[in-house]
Structure 1
Amino acid sequence: MQEIYRNLVRVKICGITTPDDARLAAAAGADAIGLVFYPPSPRNVTIVTAQQILAAVPPFVTRVGLFVNPQRAWVEEVLAACALDMLQFHGDEEPEFCVDFQRPYLKVLRVSGECDLRPWRDRYPTAQGLLLDKRDVQVFGGSGQSFTWWRLPQDLGMPLILAGGLQPDTVATAIDVARPYAVDVSSGVETSPGRKDRGKMEGFIAQARAAREA
């Protein structure tokens, strides 16, 4: 399943905090944007801010909400107020919790390097995909740290998304090595935490596009 997407690698820009950055990401060609609903993160957004950002997102750009070990009531409150297309669970959420919100979801795996992904696929069979991010005992995503890429299994039967310290000058190599379904970037296209850089976003997406065609 993975191999058929080799030349169609998607790009998600995560940690969007302003409507202008959402517009710039979409204009640069992002397939998805991510909003962080996790107060300890410097990229956290309130419901009001999220509504403003989502209103600026054009059609056919997927709107993803990121949560870390949230209370059920918090997810429900966000979904009642914000038109999210997909959820992304970045903590230790159980499969039964993830599937309970009538939205497609991604499950994030915090890894240090090559590992067997089959147990995770079997544990989260209802996930739309697995997102691989750098394991950090103190930070849930957005740390800017990378891990050693490896050729991801092409027969897992589930899309795999690569994250963790990707930059405009490394994303093409990462795609060539790992061959993921999609790539996810946050700090690698920023001027400061939560503030995106137009040139970096354009460069990142251009390099990902070039890798798709290789």
Structure 2
Amino acid sequence: MPVTAKICGLSTAATLDAAISGGASHIGFVFFPPSPRHVTFDQSAALAAQVPDSVQRVGVFVDPEDALLDQAIRSGRLDAIQLHRASPERAAAIGSRTRLPVWAAVAVKTRTDLDTAHAYRGAAQRILYDAKTPEDAKLPGGMGLRFDWTLLQGFDHPLPWALSGGLDAANVAEAVATSGARLVDVSSGIESAPGVKDAAKIAAFLKVVASL
């Protein structure tokens, strides 16, 4: 089974093109104003029009209200919804209401944190294991933090899953070999500054993933 990649937090046509031409299986639009990667509905609409049907469009949200979801789904032509800081009950309700696959982010620092994933069985369609951010952090991800990938070894995953948190072209091969991930998610590791994606770094990351 090949390893595939989601390029998250895209906001320009040039970097979106780099992700698509490089072979990304998924691209992510962030709908969260405090994030430097936030896109407006107009931005997402223009970008979504460039995405071929072979690439999945994922909207990234932090405990969103229904009105935001509805507008983002329309403008971004979303194929899936990625939720941060959303309870299993809320994730299930969003999935039922939107009829779209839900990815539930699970913040990981210790082995015990992984057990949270089991609560999303039946409520989500995919788990995204991400590094836990500090308690006072405004953002739930995209901070370049990684967790101990060996924690995933031997874990009984309740759902299909993806690995996120501190990945870049230099460490993604090790991350995949250590964790067994078949889908990796990158954001800050392909940037030249917070929120500023780098086409060359996107290409380099996807080149490594394609070789795995």
Q: Normalising by structure 2, report the TM-score.
A: 0.89
CA drift of 1:157 comes to: 4.7
CA drift of 1:49 comes to: 0.3
Q: Which moved more, 1:158-167 or 1:168-177?
A: 158-167
Give runs of aligned pairs for residues 89-108 of structure 1, distance below 5 A.
Answer: 89-93=83-87, 94-99=90-95, 100-108=97-105
Q: Please give the alpha-carbon distance, in whole angstroms, between the structure 2 residues aligned to 1:31 and 1:115.
A: 30
Find 1:40's aligned residue among 34, 40, 59: 34
Q: Which runs of 5+ in 2 are unaligned?
A: none
Q: Please give the alpha-carbon distance, in whole angstroms, between the structure 1 residues aligned to 2:75 and 2:187.
A: 24
| Corresponding residue number in structure 1 for 2:124 | 127
Give runs of aligned pairs for residues 39-118 of structure 1, distance below 5 A.
Answer: 39-93=33-87, 94-99=90-95, 100-115=97-112, 117-118=114-115
The secondary structure found in structure 2 opposite 1:115 is: helix
Number of residue-to-residue matches in the alignment? 205
CA drift of 1:65 comes to: 0.3
| Corresponding residue number in structure 2 for 1:175 | 176
Q: Please give the alpha-carbon distance, in whole angstroms, between the structure 2 residues aligned to 1:146 and 1:76.
A: 32
CA drift of 1:80 comes to: 3.0
The code of the aligned residue for 1:53 comes to L
Cα gap change, 1:101/1:31 in structure 2, threshold over 3 Å: closer, same or farther? same
Cα gap change, 1:96/1:24 in structure 2, threshold over 3 Å: closer, same or farther? same
The code of the aligned residue for 2:29 comes to L
Q: Which runs of 5+ in 1 are unaligned?
A: 1-6
Q: Answer whether contact 1:113 1:149 (CA < 8 A) is retained.
A: no
Q: Please give the alpha-carbon distance, in whole angstroms, between the structure 2 residues aligned to 1:77 and 1:9.
A: 32
Q: Please give the alpha-carbon distance, in whole angstroms, between the structure 2 residues aligned to 1:78 and 1:70.
A: 10
| Corresponding residue number in structure 2 for 1:188 | 189
Q: Answer whether contact 1:12 1:30 (CA < 8 A) is retained.
A: yes
Q: Which moved more, 1:113-122 or 1:26-35?
A: 113-122
